[in-house]
Amino acid sequence: MRKQIAAANWKMNLSVSEAETLLDQILATEHHLAANQEAIFAVPSIYISLAIQKLAGKNNVYVAAQNCYSKSNGAFTGEISAPMYASVGVKHIVLGHSERREYFGESDAFLAEKTDAVLAIGSTPIFCCGEPLSIREAGSQNSFVETQLKNSLFHLSEEQITKVVIAYEPIWAIGTGKTATSEQAQEIHAYIRSVMASKYGQSIADQISILYGGSVKAANAKEIFSQPDVDGGLVGGASLIATEFAAIINALK
């Protein structure tokens, strides 16, 4: 069975004391992770070591980075590499979030390099894709997302692609309170899986977890996650509220 994942994306939020309080609050909530389920906290990099300490010993709970650089080391002031993250215990790195694509100009080709860097050290890329509103309104979301996947992932081997988690996040649903309906999510998730199957075969495509992101909250998580090709969520705003995120974890299949 595919992994079912609730991934928190804190983005650029919280002071250190607020981060500590939120982790304490989450630990105090009632949440349950079955053997095939994971909770992942993509926290600002400056809080990663704190989060790893706080969550130590919790089964199926991981701390992720929100981004990394494509090179391992060198004169790249201000950047943090995938091996550096691995050295502090990070096993998952979010790549290609639409905010990185939009505000920091990250291209498909650059994200292909970053994906290689993350896989090279045995970590898991959580690779984000998704269309803006204009593309959705034109009905071209499938080909838009297909191009993102082809350009950044199709050079990977069969063995590598099974280590990638895909997060589909329609940009028009991020932080807007607008969620894709569960039918819209299922439709494009099934399409993404068919794109992966066309390249790697159905049995490999069936192993890839595909998360939905965009205004997931406690009130809609269960319905969205119940769709056959939705394997959990990448959650921004609602992941900053302990009870909300605990309910989202508990909504995993």
Q: Which is nearer to ligand PGA, 200 or 209 (CB)?
A: 209
237 lies in the binding site for ligand PGA (CB under 6 A): yes
Nearest to 107 by CA among 70, 79, 142: 70
Q: Which residues are marked as active site? A: 97, 169
Nearest to 136 by CA among 219, 67, 214, 228: 214
Contact segment (CB under 6 A) with ligand PGA among 80-88, 143-151, 183-191, 214-222 equals 214-222
Q: Which is nearer to ligand PGA, 199 or 222 (CB)?
A: 222
51, 80, 149, 174: which one contacts ligand PGA (CB under 6 A)?
174
Tell me the number of residues near ligand PGA by CB under 6 A: 13
Give me Rg for the CA atoms of the chain: 17
232 lies in the binding site for ligand PGA (CB under 6 A): no
CB of 214 to ligand PGA, least distance (A): 5
CB of 251 to ligand PGA, least distance (A): 14
234 lies in the binding site for ligand PGA (CB under 6 A): yes
The string of DSSP letters for the chain reads: ---EEEEEE--S---HHHHHHHHHHHHHS-----TTEEEEEE--GGGHHHHHHHHTT-TTEEEEES--BSSSSSS-TT--BHHHHHHTT--EEEE--HHHHHHS---HHHHHHHHHHHHHTT-EEEEEE---HHHHHTT-HHHHHHHHHHHHHTTS-HHHHTTPEEEE--GGGSSSS----HHHHHHHHHHHHHHHHHHH-HHHHTT--EEEESS--HHHHHHHHTSTT--EEEESGGGGSHHHHHHHHHT--
Q: Which is nearer to ligand PGA, 9 or 141 (CB)?
A: 9
Contact segment (CB under 6 A) with ligand PGA among 12-20, 68-76, 195-203, 236-244 equals 236-244
235 lies in the binding site for ligand PGA (CB under 6 A): yes
169, 229, 231, 244: which one contacts ligand PGA (CB under 6 A)?
169
Cβ burial of 112 (10 Å; 0-12, 13-18, 19+) is buried
125 lies in the binding site for ligand PGA (CB under 6 A): no
CB of 117 to ligand PGA, least distance (A): 21
Contact segment (CB under 6 A) with ligand PGA among 45-53, 73-81, 116-124, 169-177 equals 169-177
Contact segment (CB under 6 A) with ligand PGA among 80-88, 106-114, 151-159, 167-175 equals 167-175
Binding site for ligand PGA (CB under 6 A): 9, 169, 174-175, 213-216, 234-238
